[in-house]
Amino acid sequence: MNSKDLQSFVDLSPTSYQVVEHIQMAAAGFVRLDREDAWELEEGGKYYVVNEDGAILLFSMGKRDPETMAFRTVISHTDSPALRLLPGGVHGEKDCVRMDVEPYGAIINADWFDRPLSLAGRVIVDTAAGVKSIPVDFREPVATIPHLAPHLHKDVNNGHVFKAGKDLVPLAAKSWDEGGFLKDLAELADADPEEILDYDLYFYPWGDSTLVGADKKWLSSPRLDNLATAYPAFMALSGEVNENLTQVVYLADQEEIGSLTQSGGDSSFLPNVLRRIVGDLGEEAYFRALARSFLLSCDMAHADHPNYRDKANPSASPVLGGGVTVKLSASRSYATQGHSSARFKRMMKGAGLKVQTFANPHGQRGGSTIGPLSLRHVDMEAIDIGIATWAMHGVHEVVHVDDVSDFYDAVRAFFTTEDF
């Protein structure tokens, strides 16, 4: 897999709903399963299940032998920080409309100013067959958040705190006043304005990802957290796998706001699917399969920043281009522990791939992942890994293209290696 594949996917997938939509379109050879239906699974078959439009779990069915059954599981997430449009959030002004938003996840406020913004998500419409969810994307710049000039705002460079509802408000064309917005939104959804019951819509930075640097090795792009791991994981599952084992890729939603949702990582969705895969082999077979299983929790890792060396751990600070990163924390905010790390490094050594390590700066707790949250629901050995990143949660994050390629190769090795 090369960086251009990832770039194309990221550019077309501004919200979790487009992520899942485009993965389904690319999932050739996979059979869709619905949660409310009875499942008939075959060894060697490939399947997927969608949850709440923004999460998807894909798996390749291995041998259903209670003596050997195990799950090679990769978890990542589909959502990224953004600005969520509030219901009734379109307010007319003299020469424009103000679009009232609230931050979704931990955004960098200043990043969102003075750039073109588009809008995407899903629309919920009333149809003769019932309520229907439709993914939508304006796919053009429709708004912007202009700064107040420094002539009128003397504190703009002196620690001004940008506030939602005051500073952080996108402005759009006057044509969206008096029902114009709903009219354009309904046209995107191929519906009538009066059929729109609700929506989940997010402003996102308009513009394509790009390669940066004289050697074109740095990928600068929105939403690398966490599509830079989600998409390669899906692509790895789409290729060759070990038919003796069941491989799973679970791309959860709402990680950026805590995962405490039906389609989040801290839900029963993953174990429910795994239990249905085990099926009539029974509960004992399920627990034995978990004991043989291994889980890769995949998210981005803070790279060493040359301008902020005091914000790095001197013993464990990964660099761009240094290979796949193992993330660890004494507080176990990451799933990594010594035994799982050793097994992963053994696998990587066998595949000829580099490994580096991230730990939080001294005195800082740092972030977390859905790894520890998922382990509340599935009892299997696990590790947190990722790709070293500059400007995490920024409008344009930066990774090294070789690290993306190495991550893809690592997941492929995870899915094909018999034992490690």
DSSP H or E stretch at residue 400 = strand 397-400
Res 275: pLDDT: 97
Shared domain check, 254 and 169: no
DSSP result, 359-383 = -PPTT------HHHHHTTT---EEE
Both 135 and 190 in one domain: the answer is: yes
Q: What is the pLDDT of residue 153?
A: 86
Same domain, 262 and 400: yes
- Co-location of 249 and 182 in the same domain: no
Asked if the structure places residue 210 within a domain, the reply is no
CA pair distance 205, 95, nearest whole angstrom: 23
3-state secondary structure of 47: strand
Here the tokens at position 219 are 């990928």
pLDDT tens for 199-222 read 999 999 999 999 999 999 999 999
Parent domain of 132: 82-205
122 plus 255 within the same structural domain = no
| 305-352 pLDDT per residue, tens | 999 999 999 999 999 999 999 999 998 899 999 999 999 999 999 999
What pLDDT was estimated at residue 160?
86
Residue where a domain stops, chosen among 177, 205, 233? 205
**pTM, to two decimals:** 0.96
pLDDT at 1: 82
- The answer on pLDDT for 365 being more than 80 is no
- Report how far residue 90's alpha carbon sits from residue 93's, in angstroms, rounded to the nearest whole number: 10
Same domain, 398 and 282: yes
The CATH number given to whatever domain includes residue 167 is 2.30.250.10
At residue 37, the 3 state secondary structure works out as coil
310 and 226 share one domain: yes
**Within a domain: 376:** yes
pLDDT tier at 384 (50, 70, 90 boundaries)?
very high
| Residues 411 and 298 occupy one common structural domain | yes
Are 256 and 79 a contacting pair, CB within 8 Å? yes
Structure-token pair, residue 295: 């889980």
What value does the mean pLDDT take over residues 404-411? 98
pLDDT interval class at 366 (50, 70, 90): confident
**Would you state the pLDDT for residue 163?**
87
Q: In terms of DSSP H, where are the helices of 209-365?
A: 224-238, 269-278, 283-291, 338-351
Domain end residue (candidates: 205, 235, 253) = 205
Q: What is the mean pLDDT of residues 226-234?
A: 98
Q: Cα–Cα distance between 6 and 226 in angstroms, integer?
A: 11
Question: Average pLDDT in the 180-202 region?
Answer: 96
Of the chain, the percentage scoring pLDDT greater than 70 comes to 100
| Eight-class DSSP state of 304 | P
> Is residue 402 a part of any domain in this protein?
yes
Residues 91 and 155 in one domain: yes
The percentage of residues in the chain with a pLDDT greater than 90, rounded to a whole number, is 90
Together in a domain, 330 and 305 = yes
Rounded to the nearest integer, the mean pLDDT of the chain is: 95
Q: Are residues 362 and 409 in the same domain?
A: yes
- Quick: pLDDT tens for 62-116: 999 999 999 999 999 999 999 999 999 999 999 999 999 999 999 999 999 999 9
pLDDT value, residue 76: 98
Query: Of the candidates 157, 177, 205, which is a domain's last residue?
Result: 205
* CATH for 21: 3.40.630.10
State how many domains the chain has.
Answer: 2
